[in-house]
Amino acid sequence: MAGRIRRRRGASAGVRFRALHQPRISARGTKTGSDWAVHRGLRVHRARSGHCSVLLGLDRSDRQPKGMSLVVGVPRGLLFHEYGPFMLELLRQCGARAVLSPVTNKQILQAGLEVCVDEACLPVKVFFGHVAYLAEQVDALFVPRFVSIERGAYICPKLMGLPDMIRARVCDAPRIVDPCIDVSRGLGKTARSVAQLGPALGVSSGRVAIALARSMRVTSGRANTQPGDGRRTGASGAMCIGVLGHDYSLNDPYISLDLMNKIRRLGASPVTASIYSHKEMARWERQRARRGAKRLFWTYGRRLLGAACRWLDTGEVDGIVHLMSFGCGPESFIAEVIQYEASERDCVPLLCINIDEHSAEAGLSTRLEAFIDTVAMRKCEHASHLPTSGQPVDTR
């Protein structure tokens, strides 16, 4: 074998690499010489000067040419609103070109309604619309199968089966890349599951593992957290409204009917559960469980319940608006629990709003204006005794 192979700088002393003399393969696939050699997944490029340099699949120089990059579509819906930066960074680190669907509009919703099952909730139907938009523009779709993101709790069943639903309902859908995210099995198994993306993305599993670590490091500082000090979260003197709901509903103005801006235009300051850390929400949810209540099975249900218990106990908000999606099984149960907790304390008004593809902004605006007026009235000294949960008022 002509030439020597240098050990990569920083590699351990016990690591040795060997290259096998292979015929050169041109761009057209014809064997013309000995430019590339492959041995046990390690690629070795032989320079014109005769010496060889080892290029692991993790190096930037080992990326695919721009014209041959795998085009991967990323639907802008559901858990993308929470893990979107991580998804895009992971695909970039793996050398793929990510194509993101546009913000939700009427055309995307209509496309989702045509292919999705009727029993699904509105965010899932919107996600199908984003998939339909990307289907003819990309080589593959990146749709992770989220099962669990913490031990002892799980994600909505529809999100678990989302890749299978797309395969069954979207005709001529491109190849779906669906790594399984199941933290309940342990972080090690979850990382190995994500590392199996290699064959689907055309890179080695080792490169995916390093890309995963780099992506987590890049996006780890972007989480928006706030310590649980119990202080008021709104502006001083302004009416503060706590808004409960999933991030993929609240962060999509088309799904939420622009709820957050409507509250601001009415002179109130909206706050959501996302401004608190996951540990803070879990602490409040566990306090409820210590009083004898059973813990919920769903991670996002625990977050909503934890935020509701914090607001009801501390009084840092003047009212709570709970935005729900019609057809969401877990949320229909969680809403009943939150309403029960609010009626037991009877200190903060609660408004529950159900939305689907038939909801209109006029109806939401009317209910929201009436609720804001009610909260403002209760802040007055002569009306603070009024109940918040529908009990009759004692006028004696």
Q: Is the pLDDT of residue 63 over 50?
A: no
Q: What was the pLDDT predicted at 92?
A: 86
Q: What was the pLDDT predicted at 26?
A: 36
Using a 10 angstrom Cβ sphere, with 0-12 exposed, 13-18 middle and 19 or more buried, the burial of residue 328 is buried
Tell me the C-alpha distance between 350 and 355, whole Å.
16
For residue 389, the 8-state DSSP code is S
In CATH terms, the fold of domain 239-383 is Rossmann fold (3.40.50)
For 23, the token pair is 């015929």
Least confident segment among 20-34, 154-168, 235-249: 20-34
Q: Is the pLDDT of residue 387 over 80?
A: no
The residues facing 328 across adjacent strands are none
The residues of the chain that CATH labels 3.40.50.11890 are: 66-222
Looking at the chain, the whole-number percentage of residues with pLDDT higher than 70 is 74
Least confident segment among 105-109, 163-167, 299-303: 299-303
Contacts 24+ apart (CB under 8 A), 163-170: 165/116, 165/117, 165/120, 165/124, 165/128, 166/128, 166/131, 166/141, 169/115, 169/116, 169/117, 169/128, 170/115, 170/128, 170/131, 170/132, 170/135
Tell me the C-alpha distance between 306 and 312, whole Å.
10
Looking at the chain, the whole-number percentage of residues with pLDDT higher than 90 is 24
pLDDT band, residue 388 (cuts 50/70/90): low
Q: What is the mean pLDDT of residues 25-29?
A: 36
Q: Is the pLDDT of residue 53 over 90?
A: no
pLDDT band, residue 52 (cuts 50/70/90): very low
Contacts 24+ apart (CB under 8 A), 290-297: 295/152, 296/153, 296/334, 296/337, 297/153, 297/154, 297/330
CB of 341 within 8 A of CB of 313?
Answer: no
Strands 145-148 and 180-182: parallel
Query: CB atoms < 10 A from the CB of 323, how many?
Result: 23
Q: Is the pLDDT of residue 36 over 50?
A: no
pTM: predicted TM-score of the whole model, two decimal places: 0.74
Q: What are phi and psi of 217, to 5 degrees?
A: -70, -40
Q: Looking at the domain that runs over 66-222, which CATH code has it been given? A: 3.40.50.11890
For 289, the token pair is 């469980």
**Identity of the amino acid at 54:** V
Residue 56 neighbours by CB under 8 Å, 6+ apart: 8, 42, 43, 62, 206, 207
Least confident segment among 129-133, 200-204, 389-393: 389-393
Tell me the C-alpha distance between 308 and 140, whole Å.
40
The residues of the chain that CATH labels 3.40.50.11900 are: 239-383
Q: What is the mean pLDDT of residues 29-35?
A: 35
CA 133 to chain centre: 19
Average pLDDT, the chain: 75
Between residues 394 and 288, the one the model is more confident about? 288
CB of 179 within 8 A of CB of 147?
Answer: no
pLDDT band, residue 126 (cuts 50/70/90): very high
> Which residue has tokens 């995307």?
108
Q: What is the mean pLDDT of residues 345-354?
A: 86
Q: What is the mean pLDDT of residues 33-45?
A: 29
**Identity of the amino acid at 19:** A
Least confident segment among 17-26, 180-189, 210-219: 17-26
